[in-house]
């Protein structure tokens, strides 16, 4: 079994990086499953399925995800970031070496991923008012420098 770290997988890790301090008030905490029919990402190796679990511990959100790319390769990733935003860290290596997160409001996360100090991706994740849907818009370049853009839709399980 070959594990692959895809671009969509990376952005899902980061999109939920900074959150409120308690799990009860954090609309991002829980398990999210990608709705492939509603997801429209232009990428080299988009995911055909993806599940992300978000927990909060020791002042950090920990995001762990598993998915399958369209080529059949498996993805596994793990990311952590301060609950109030700031600089996060990848717990499993990926194509990017830095990430910063801003928290404009309780239901929105603005994320910038960098590679060698240069911005590579920017995306915004928004959880719906009813807390059941997370919509992520992304724009930038993938690990190979090819354009990446689109919208991913996740549903809370």
The CATH number for 135's domain is 2.40.128.20
Average pLDDT over residues 136-147: 85
* pLDDT of 76: 83
Q: CA–CA separation, 11 vs 135, rounded Å?
A: 12
Asked whether residue 43 is domain-assigned, the answer is yes
More confident: 16 or 31: 31
Answer yes or no: is pLDDT of 116 > 90.
no
Contact 11, 143 (CB under 8 A): no
Asked whether residue 2 is domain-assigned, the answer is no
Asked whether residue 36 is domain-assigned, the answer is yes
Number of domains in the chain: 1
| pLDDT category of residue 11 using cuts at 50, 70 and 90 | low
Asked whether residue 95 is domain-assigned, the answer is yes
Pairing of strands 133-141, 108-115: unpaired
pLDDT, tens only, 53-86: 988 888 888 878 898 988 888 888 887 888 788 8
- Name the residue range of residue 62's domain: 7-156
**3-state helix/strand/coil string of 23-79:** CCCCCCCEEEEECCCCCEEECCCCEEEEEEEEEEECCEEEEEEEEEECCCCEEEEEE
Asked whether residue 83 is domain-assigned, the answer is yes
pLDDT, tens only, 25-43: 789 999 999 999 999 988 7
Asked whether residue 1 is domain-assigned, the answer is no
């Amino acid at each position: 079994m070959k594990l692959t770290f895809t671009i969509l997988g990376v952005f899902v890790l980061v999109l939920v990086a900074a959150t409120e301090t308690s799990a009860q008030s954090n609309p991002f905490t829980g398990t999210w499953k990608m709705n492939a029919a509603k997801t429209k990402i232009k990428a080299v190796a988009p995911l055909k399925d993806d599940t992300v679990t978000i927990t909060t511990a020791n002042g950090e959100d920990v995001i762990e995800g598993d998915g399958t790319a369209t080529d059949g390769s498996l993805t596994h990733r793990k990311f952590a970031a301060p609950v109030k935003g700031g600089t996060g860290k990848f717990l499993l290596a990926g194509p990017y070496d830095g990430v910063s997160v801003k928290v404009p409001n309780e239901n929105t996360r603005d994320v910038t991923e960098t590679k060698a100090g240069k911005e590579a991706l920017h995306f915004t994740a928004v959880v719906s008012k009813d807390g059941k849907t997370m919509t992520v818009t992304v724009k930038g370049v993938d690990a190979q420098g090819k354009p990446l853009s689109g919208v991913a839709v996740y549903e809370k399980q």
